């Protein structure tokens, strides 16, 4: 919906935690939500705020390539990125060229080894191998997750507070 302070959440979520944050945000403030794969420039134009959310995979935010493509054409929008990962903070997240000035927020998601599929299962196997051979090169937070088969749920709606401030023009 197009209003004076309208917000669109664009999200990419592999296993549901980023989508959950998108839904929590939409419960707190009137927002529309759109999966990143459906993005078209014409769909973004009517909004004042664009909150681009994506799951972190190998230190990169999935779905940001779409933002990279359109960012230079967004003149009237306030854009922010919310990365959702399993690490305690977003300090290791790599932001692609052209987006370094975009306000960046981070939220912790969910790590569920029973849900991982396809390429992700392979990657996790490789990470575990790395851990057994070169454990110095694996960050501590990742060691704890890789050594366990348990589900770690770090989801917390309080991570959205800085995003709400941004939407309200306070950040």
Residue 64 touching ligand FMN (CB under 6 A): no
Name which position in 74, 78, 116, 130 contacts ligand FMN (CB under 6 A).
116
Which residue carries 């190998």 as its tokens? 58
Binding mask 3-32 for ligand FMN (x = CB under 6 A): ----------xxxxxx--------------
Q: Both tokens of residue 138? A: 């694996």
C-beta closer to ligand FMN: residue 8 or 87: 87
Residue 35 touching ligand FMN (CB under 6 A): no
Q: Where are the beta strands (DSSP E) in the chain?
A: 7-12, 31-35, 49-57, 60-61, 78-85, 104-108, 110-111, 152-153
CB 73 within 8 A of CB 105: no
Name which position in 2, 37, 42, 58 contacts ligand FMN (CB under 6 A).
58
CB 148 within 8 A of CB 114: no
Residue 84 touching ligand FMN (CB under 6 A): yes
- Tell how strand 152-153 and strand 110-111 pair up: antiparallel
Residue 105 touching ligand FMN (CB under 6 A): no
Residue 78 touching ligand FMN (CB under 6 A): no
Residues in contact with ligand FMN, counted by CB under 6 A, come to a total of 22
CB 52 within 8 A of CB 23: no
Residue 63 touching ligand FMN (CB under 6 A): no
CA distance 21 to 12: 11
3-state secondary structure of 104: strand
Residues 85-104 that bind ligand FMN (CB under 6 A): 85-87
Name which position in 26, 102, 120, 131 contacts ligand FMN (CB under 6 A).
120
The residue ranges that bind ligand FMN (CB under 6 A) are: 13-18, 55-59, 84-87, 109-111, 116, 120, 123-124
């Amino acid at each position: 919906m197009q209003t004076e302070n309208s917000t669109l959440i664009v999200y990419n979520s592999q296993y549901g935690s980023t989508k959950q944050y998108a839904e929590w945000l939409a419960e707190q403030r009137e927002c529309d939500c759109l999966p990143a794969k459906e993005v078209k420039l014409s769909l973004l134009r009517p909004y004042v705020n664009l909150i681009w959310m994506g799951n972190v995979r190998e230190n990169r935010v999935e779905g940001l390539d779409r933002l990279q493509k359109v960012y230079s054409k967004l003149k009237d929008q306030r854009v922010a990125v919310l990365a959702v990962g399993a690490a305690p903070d977003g300090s290791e997240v790599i932001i692609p060229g052209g987006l370094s000035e975009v306000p960046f927020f981070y939220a912790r998601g969910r790590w569920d080894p029973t849900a991982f599929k396809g390429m992700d299962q392979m990657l996790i196997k490789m990470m575990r191998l790395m851990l057994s051979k070169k454990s110095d090169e694996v960050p501590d937070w990742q060691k704890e997750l890789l050594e366990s088969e348990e589900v770690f749920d770090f989801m917390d709606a309080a991570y959205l507070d800085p995003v709400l401030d941004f939407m309200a023009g306070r950040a």
